[in-house]
Amino acid sequence: MMDILRAVQDRNRWISPESLEVIAERTGLTRIQVEGVASFYSFFSLTPKGRVTIRLCDDIIDRFAGMEEVAAALEEALGIRMGETSRDGAFSLDRTPCIGLCDQAPAAMINDVVVTNLTPDRARSIAAALRAGTPPEEVALPGCGGLTPAERVQRMVAGNVRHAGASLLGPVPAEAGLRKALEMTPAQIIDTVEASGLRGCGGAGFVTGRKWRFAAAEPADRRFVICNADEGEPGTFKDRVLLVERPHLLIEGMTIAARAVGAAEGILYLRGEYAFLRDHLQVVIDDRRAKGQLGQGIGGVPGFDFDLRIQMGAGAYICGEEGALISSCEGLPGEPKTRPPFPVNRGYLGFPTVVNNVETFCHAARILDRGAAWFHAMGTEGSHGTKLFSVSGDCLNPGVYELPYGLELAELLRLVGGEDAAAVLVGGPSGTMVDRANFHRRLTFDDLATGGAVIVFSPRRNLLEIVEYYLSFFVHESCGYCTPCRVGNVFLQQAIGKFRRGLANPEDVEYLRDLSQTIIETSRCGLGQTSPRPVLTTLDNFPLIYSAVIKPSSDRVRASFDVQSAIDTARKLAKRRSYIFDRDFGE
Partner 1 sequence: MSEPAFHITIDGVQIAARPGQTIMEAADEAGIYIPRLCDHEGLRHQGSCRVCTVKAGGRSVSACTQPAAPGLVVENETPHMVKLRRDLVEMLFHEGNHLCPICEASGNCELQAMAYRLGLTAPSRFPFLQPTRPLDASHPDIALDTNRCITCGRCIRASQDVDHKGVFGYVGRGIHRRVAVNGPDLAHTDAAITDHAISAEVCPVGCIIRKRVGFRIPIGEREFDAALIGEEIEEHRDD
Ligand X SMILES: Cc1cc2nc3c(=O)[nH]c(=O)nc-3n(C[C@H](O)[C@H](O)[C@H](O)COP(=O)(O)O)c2cc1C
Instruction: Name the site residues for partner 1 (rule: CB under 8 A).
Output: 17, 30-33, 35-36, 39-41, 316, 333, 338, 340, 475-484, 486-488, 490-491, 494, 511, 515, 518, 521-524, 569
Mark residues 369-388: x for contact with ligand X by CB under 6 A, - for none: --------------------
Nearest approach in angstroms of CB 525 to ligand X is: 6
309 touches 247 (CB < 8 A): no
1 touches 9 (CB < 8 A): no
Residues binding ligand SF4 (CB under 6 A) = 318, 336, 478-482, 485-486, 523-525, 527-528
Does residue number 168 form part of the binding site for ligand FES (CB under 6 A)?
no
Nearest approach in angstroms of CB 258 to partner 1 is: 30
Alpha-carbon distance values, 407 to 204, 239, 316, 420 (Å): 19, 21, 32, 18
199 touches 445 (CB < 8 A): yes
Nearest approach in angstroms of CB 553 to partner 1 is: 14
Distance CA 377, CA 331 (A): 42
431 binds, among ligand SF4, ligand FES, ligand X, none (CB under 5 to 8 A by kind): none
One of 22, 66, 206, 480 touching ligand X (CB under 6 A): 206
Q: Which residues have CB under 8 Å from 473's CB, separation 6+?
A: 59, 97, 234, 317, 429
Nearest approach in angstroms of CB 344 to partner 1 is: 16
Does residue number 96 form part of the binding site for ligand X (CB under 6 A)?
no
Could you say which DSSP state residue 286 is in? H
Number of amino acids touching ligand X (CB under 6 A): 22
Nearest approach in angstroms of CB 459 to ligand SF4 is: 33
231 binds, among ligand SF4, partner 1, ligand X, none (CB under 5 to 8 A by kind): ligand X
Distance CA 106, CA 462 (A): 19
- Residue span binding ligand X (CB under 6 A) among the ranges 231-239, 398-406, 458-466, 557-565: 231-239
Does residue number 232 form part of the binding site for ligand X (CB under 6 A)?
yes
201 binds, among ligand X, ligand FES, partner 1, none (CB under 5 to 8 A by kind): ligand X
In the complex with ligand FES, the residue whose CB is nearer, 78 or 107, is 107
239 touches 459 (CB < 8 A): no
Q: 3-state DSSP helix/strand/coil percent for the chain, to nearest 5?
A: 45, 15, 40
Phi and psi at residue 430, in whole multiples of 5°?
-80, 0
Does residue number 472 form part of the binding site for ligand X (CB under 6 A)?
no
β pairing state of 432-435 and 423-426: antiparallel
Could you say which DSSP state residue 320 is in? G
490 binds, among partner 1, ligand SF4, ligand FES, none (CB under 5 to 8 A by kind): partner 1
One of 123, 378, 426, 525 touching ligand X (CB under 6 A): 525
570 has which bridge partners? none
Nearest approach in angstroms of CB 369 to ligand FES is: 32
Does residue number 322 form part of the binding site for ligand X (CB under 6 A)?
yes
Distance CA 187, CA 170 (A): 29
Nearest approach in angstroms of CB 345 to partner 1 is: 12
In the complex with partner 1, the residue whose CB is nearer, 379 or 484, is 484
- Residue span binding ligand FES (CB under 6 A) among the ranges 56-64, 167-175, 280-288, 456-464: 56-64
Does residue number 8 form part of the binding site for ligand FES (CB under 6 A)?
no
Continuous segment of H or E residues that includes residue 91: strand 91-96
234 binds, among ligand SF4, ligand X, ligand FES, none (CB under 5 to 8 A by kind): ligand FES
Distance CA 153, CA 532 (A): 36
Could you say which DSSP state residue 295 is in? B
234 touches 470 (CB < 8 A): yes
Q: Which residues of 211-235 are buried (b: 16+ CB within 10 A; e: fewer)?
A: bbbbbbebebeebbbbbbbbbbbbb
One of 6, 49, 54, 59 touching ligand FES (CB under 6 A): 59
108 has which bridge partners? 56, 115
Q: Interface residues with ligand X (CB under 6 A)?
A: 200-204, 206, 228, 230-233, 318, 320-322, 355-357, 360, 525-527
Q: Interface residues with ligand FES (CB under 6 A)?
A: 57, 59, 61-62, 98-102, 105, 107, 234
